[in-house]
Amino acid sequence: VLSLVDNWERPRSEFTLERKLGQGFFGEVYEGLWNGEERVAIKTFKQEDLNRSDMEKEIDALKSLCHRNLIRLLAVCSIGEPVYIVTELMTKGNLQDYLKGVEGKRLRNSDFINIISQVADGMEYLEKKHVVHRDLATRNILVGDKLICKIADFGLARLLKDDMYSPENNRTIPIRWTAPEALSHCKYSTKSDVWSFGVLVYEVYTYGETPYKGEQL
In DSSP notation, 152-164 reads: --GGG-EE-SSS-
Spatial distance between the Cα atoms of 43 and 87, rounded to a whole number of angstroms = 8
What are the residue numbers of the active site?
Answer: 135
List Cα–Cα distances, 75 to 10, 40, 66, 137, 179, in angstroms. 6, 10, 14, 25, 33
Is 105 annotated as ligand-binding?
A: no
Spatial distance between the Cα atoms of 139 and 37, rounded to a whole number of angstroms = 28
Q: Which helix (H) or strand (E) holds 197?
A: helix 190-205
Residues in a beta bridge with 88? 40
Annotated binding-site positions? 43
Annotated binding-site positions for ATP? 43
